[in-house]
Chain A
Amino acid sequence: GAGVSQTPSNKVTEKGKYVELRCDPISGHTALYWYRQSLGQGPEFLIYFQGTGAADDSGLPNDRFFAVRPEGSVSTLKIQRTERGDSAVYLCASSPSRTGAGLFFGEGSRLTVL
């Protein structure tokens, strides 16, 4: 596809459950980012990958959140022991490089924790 693809588009889970959110970046983009957007707010930075490694994970709120990008393309955001406060839209973005002209965002995965 031409854009950043995220799955699932919607995920409803119960408090305490484990969830995985997937991001398929634009082909050839080496940099990948996860942001979180709560209702009525702007996106907040979570983590940045350059290739396979997490170059900056300073935005992850706590150790329940983890992300991987094992082959330098697709990334998975993993959330353990979900809490109601984790409910948000999780946005993935990619760019040709860290200093690329802007971030290209996907449509997001809406997570609802009941």
Chain B
Amino acid sequence: QQQVKQSPQSLIVQKGGIPIINCAYENTAFDYFPWYQQFPGKGPALLIAIRPDVSEKKEGRFTISFNKSAKQFSLHIMDSQPGDSATYFCAASDWSGGSNYKLTFGKGTLLTVNP
């Protein structure tokens, strides 16, 4: 059972474009939603995370939008750059229940930003 569904599987944008990656979750106990960025041969690195007490969080060029009623959240990358080309993973966990470390990841989105 895939508890976090991520789309699209891959995405190509031009430099300066705004790629959007979407995730949907099923487990209503999830209340911590981080996004990780992974370059080839490297481990995932935390980009930005949100808890459900807010509907949007922005850090630099990265913004998370969160819709609790729809059980969906998305990542927007403003003014995308070729250096943003990587695989992006959404994840979710049960923070309030003490299992924030037990992340359930989506399958990832391979983003390519063309110069």
Contacts and interface: CB of A to CB of B under 8 A. Distances in A.
Q: How large is the interface on B (under 10, 10 to 19, 20 to 34, 35 or more residues)?
A: 20 to 34
B99 A4 contact: no
What DSSP secondary structure best describes chain B's contact surface? strand
A35 to B, nearest CB: 8
Contact of A59 (B41, B46, B89, B102): B102
Given A42-B91, A56-B99, A103 B46 contact: yes
Nearest to B100: A99
Contacts of A107: 41-43
A108 interface: yes
By secondary structure, the A interface counts as loop
Contacts, number: 60
B49 interface: yes
Interface residues of A, number: 27
Interface stretch (A11-19, A62-70, A74-82, A90-98): A90-98
Interface string B48-68: 010000000000000000000
A106 B38 CA distance: 11
A103 B107 contact: no
Interface in A96-112: 98-99, 101-108
Interface of A: 4, 31, 33, 35, 40-45, 48, 56, 58-59, 91, 93, 95, 98-99, 101-108
Given A43-B89, A48-B102, A59-B102, 13 more contacts: A33-B101, A40-B107, A42-B89, A43-B103, A56-B101, A93-B43, A102-B34, A102-B46, A103-B46, A104-B46, A105-B44, A105-B45, A107-B43
Interface of B: 4, 6, 34, 36, 41-46, 49, 89, 91, 95, 98-108
Q: Which 6 A-B pairs have the closest CB atoms?
A: A42-B105, A105-B43, A102-B46, A42-B89, A45-B102, A105-B44
